[in-house]
Structure 1
Amino acid sequence: MESAVEQLLSGPRGRRLCLELAMEKDQDIRIAVFHLGYNLDPGVGRSRKLLTMNPSGEDPPHLPELTVDELAALITSLDLQTITDELVQHALQRSVDTARYWQEPDGEDVLAATEEITKSLTHVAESLVDSPETQWWNQKAQAGQSSIDWRAESDPALLPRNPQHMLAEWARKERAEEIRAAKERPRDPRANFSGEWWSIPHGLIHTVARIPEGLSLVEDSLGWEEATVIPVAGTGRILEITTEEDWINLCRSFPLEVTASRRHDWFRTTGRHGRWVIPDWEQAATEWDAVHLTVAGYLSAAGRALPVIEDTSTVIAGWDPGSTIWLTDVARESELPRQFWQRPRTEEQWRLTPTG
């Protein structure tokens, strides 16, 4: 069985978290990661360009760039005695922000996956798994959680209901899209096609246990500046996704073929070519009322090609860490008051808006 450190470093989001924390602790590491990540980025010179400003018109001085081995040595020698909750949360947020399942991993993710850097990040991972600030990463779903509505206080909305109808419609659309993609898209995974890349249904009640942390841990965020936090109470049969095996078993129990519709996007993000499945969430709702992805489970498993059977794999994509998806009608808005949060455009931190 893998240790907690090995699990954390087995996932691209876990490795990126450790690399981001190392950059937070040392400016030389940040500069080295910037240059090495740029050179390893699949879009170098095209979608990602390095620009320099030199008002004097003279050639800028050449600054020595560290090698991968030199960067690894810097990371291994880091003093991690003063890790704060703020540093860890910022590194976690950056890891979530940089997740992408519709194109190749960026240069920093490629760098973190090299043997030398992954090995050096063991030093960071060891400090994280033992830190009091990270123990909530293993926390199971709580009875009292919060749903986030990315609208302002002046535009209130009720929580979505009738999940059975929503899941039936989702399943119908997924199967129709798979048939259409099989007819219209090439089998070559390198072909320039993109489409659905999520592993989860949308429109259901999604909740998080911690606010304001959950406001910042959003994959593919649209940069919202206002949010309504709705208190939710829910109980029932809740499946915990704490490791890759939990997700794999869910896919084995309720497989839904998505090879044609996910082939191109998931090849780019994982490098794997083959059959793909995700859970049939409509069928999963016959056994489970909700499914919760722990932060630790997200960091170790999201974005990886996880083998389901010999020729078939799956990916956790588009699911925010620490969130719960409610599959049946057992979650309700509680009697606690709603909260309204704002994040000024010039700041990273969310602020609770006073009411009354």
Structure 2
Amino acid sequence: MTLNGESLLEGPRGRRLCLELAMELDPDIRLMVFQLGYGLDSGRGTSRVLLTAVSADDAGGPRFSPSPEGVAAGLAALDLTGLTDSLLQETLERSVDSARYWQEPDGEDVLAGLPVIRAALRPLAGQVLMAPGVHWWDEGRGPEQWAVDWRSAADPAPLTVRPSLADWVARVRDGEERAVQELPTDPYAPVSGGWWSVPPGALRTVGRLPAGLNLVEDSLGWEVATTIPVRGAGRTLEVRSPRDWTSLCSAFPLDVTASRRHDWFRTTGRDGRWVIPDWERVAEEWDAVHLTVLGYLSGAGRALPVSPGTATVIAGWDPDSTIWLTDAARVEAGPAESWVQESQDRSWHQTH
């Protein structure tokens, strides 16, 4: 699949990547986005507090008041000579790290979604997709994969036994029935629950190290990891675009309206019927499903129409990760590798 800049900007994660990149390339844009993001954040003054220092000389002077139009002007004049592969990786990580599906988008995501900002980001998005370092963003699942255990290899605790998909689907259906009976239909009600659209107990693998160690939604701040080489055959469905995901949901729908209504309304602003794939049925046709980076950036975190009145969300699924639905994956004979994260720059290094 080939994406253009506008396609990338359809997704909130794609827009956030481009905005983060612009902030890295221009400190003036960073300052404006910081202040505007605070003003647009639903948690301003409570969960997010802005602290400022005012000197005596500045106390009576005019205050800097940025505007979306000012950010757009800065984006139009942006110097892209500093765009590097490492910078693209860093801003991809920040976009993934700022994803949240259980509350309203943060102020920077809201800012990036404004029409004036989205239009101004279009040239930058086009340049991103032409950068040499993004060639793997649309690649399918490679033969070499790694499962990640967020513990040291010296930890004596065994790996968690994965529940069956049948058990998972049964729990989802039971939870949906309870939600229908017990939860209010008002999407504004202060209710939260399950928000992910993939089976949390399924085996997941990543295709690149150490890149995949920082591409984690809702990370718990792990600083050690053990990667286990995995090789799998069988049938792999590639989710390269939002259409690939909605087609999967259309073919194997599992209704989660009552249980996802409140969280997904907060993150997308849409109220209506919601579905995710019935992963037990998907496993009858596919051994694994892989989400490409571009599929993630263009599709994750937004309401994707499946049919009239019905939509879905890609939530809780990291980019360039594979979900294994059957026992087609096998642990390789090669040794597991231990990694530690540097606290200053979040980079990962192997330990020996």
Q: TM-score, normalised by structure 1?
A: 0.95
Q: Which residue pairs with 1:296 in the alignment?
A: 294
Q: Which residue pairs with 1:141 in the alignment?
A: 141
Identity %: 56
TM superposition shift of 1:52? 2.0
Once residues 65 and 55 of structure 1 are traced to their aligned partners in structure 2, the CA distance between those partners, rounded to angstroms, is 17
Residue 118 of structure 1 pairs with residue 118 of structure 2:
yes
- Counterpart residue identity of residue 125, structure 2: A
Cα pair 2:253 2:275 within 8 Å, conserved: yes
Q: Which residue pairs with 2:32 in the alignment?
A: 32
TM superposition shift of 1:61? 5.8
Runs of 5+ unmatched residues, structure 1: none
SS of the residue corresponding to residue 81 of structure 1 reads helix
Once residues 137 and 37 of structure 1 are traced to their aligned partners in structure 2, the CA distance between those partners, rounded to angstroms, is 28
TM superposition shift of 1:346? 3.5
Once residues 302 and 334 of structure 1 are traced to their aligned partners in structure 2, the CA distance between those partners, rounded to angstroms, is 31
Cα pair 1:159 1:333 within 8 Å, conserved: no
Q: Which residue pairs with 2:150 in the alignment?
A: 150
Residue 176 of structure 1 pairs with residue 174 of structure 2:
yes
Cα pair 1:37 1:110 within 8 Å, conserved: yes
Q: Which residue pairs with 1:80 in the alignment?
A: 80
Q: TM-score, normalised by structure 2?
A: 0.96
TM superposition shift of 1:81? 2.5
| Shift in CA distance, 24/58, structure 1 to aligned 2, threshold 3 Å | closer
Once residues 309 and 263 of structure 1 are traced to their aligned partners in structure 2, the CA distance between those partners, rounded to angstroms, is 17
Correspondences of 1:174-213 after superposition (within 5 Å): 174-213=172-211
TM superposition shift of 1:345? 3.0
1:306-355: CA deviations, max 9, x gaps? Answer: 1111011000000000100000001011122211100133331111112x
Q: Which residue pairs with 1:59 in the alignment?
A: 59
TM superposition shift of 1:65? 2.7
Cα pair 1:104 1:268 within 8 Å, conserved: yes
Bigger Cα displacement from structure 2, 85-94 vs 46-55: 46-55
RMSD: 1.8
1:272 corresponds, among 270, 273, 283, to 270
Counting matched residue pairs gives: 352
SS of the residue corresponding to residue 81 of structure 2 reads coil
1:176-233: CA deviations, max 9, x gaps? Answer: 0000111110000000000000000012210111111100000000000000011100
Once residues 2 and 114 of structure 1 are traced to their aligned partners in structure 2, the CA distance between those partners, rounded to angstroms, is 25
Residue 167 of structure 1 pairs with residue 165 of structure 2:
yes
Once residues 231 and 316 of structure 2 are traced to their aligned partners in structure 1, the CA distance between those partners, rounded to angstroms, is 24
Cα pair 1:137 1:295 within 8 Å, conserved: yes
TM superposition shift of 1:45? 2.0
| Shift in CA distance, 176/35, structure 1 to aligned 2, threshold 3 Å | same
Runs of 5+ unmatched residues, structure 2: none
| Shift in CA distance, 57/192, structure 1 to aligned 2, threshold 3 Å | farther
